[in-house]
Amino acid sequence: MCKGTYKPFPCELFVETVVGIGSAAPNTARRINFLVDTGALDTTISAADATRLGVSFDDWRHWGQPILNGRPLIRAGDASGVGGNLKVYKLVDIYITIISDSDIKGGKERHTEHMDIVYVAEPKYEHESLMGMDFLKRFKLLVDPSVELFSLSRIPGLVPDYFVENL
């Protein structure tokens, strides 16, 4: 079970994660706070968080797309929501790790999920990274407003591409 923070006003759920890319995930991993968004279909990383993972927007005006390891990210279309439309790009082979706050037999649990694709928002999107239903559908979500916490419990037998380690 992994826990996150519940903010009663304006009613937001945040989970702290460590995100890495591909086989270099342990070396590229950075902390990212995700806003849990059950209304979002896909997990989307903000441009600010993507920059911390090594995505470059330096040549944004020239190339019109972000760069990772010298290669442009593939445009995935547009995302639309309350803030309007924005361009999104594919970031492939991502590992998202949640470190639990709860003790499991005297230790903490690190829960890592593999995602084939998450999306990177264009720089005009200046809000939090969003954890969408492509990630959340793997979990049971329980919110406890009385203690301002929520928990994510892995639904057994769904997507097999994950692992749990005791720390």
Q: Using one digit for the tens of pLDDT, what is the confidence trace for 126-139?
A: 889 999 999 999 88
Domain ranges of the chain: 2-166
Q: Are the beta carbons of 90 and 80 closer than 8 angstroms?
A: no
Quick one: average pLDDT of 73-90?
A: 84
Query: What gap in Å lies between CA 124 and CA 127, rounded to an integer?
Result: 9
Say which CATH topology domain 2-166 has: Cathepsin D, subunit A; domain 1 (2.40.70)
Cα–Cα distance, 129 to 84 (Å, whole number)? 16
Rounded to an integer, what distance in angstroms lies between the CA atom of residue 102 and that of residue 121? 32
What pLDDT digit, counting tens, does each position of 90-104 carry? 999 999 998 766 555
Please tell me the pTM assigned to this model.
Answer: 0.84
Span 19-29, mean pLDDT? 84
**E strand or H helix at 36:** strand 30-36
pLDDT at residue 107, as a whole number: 60
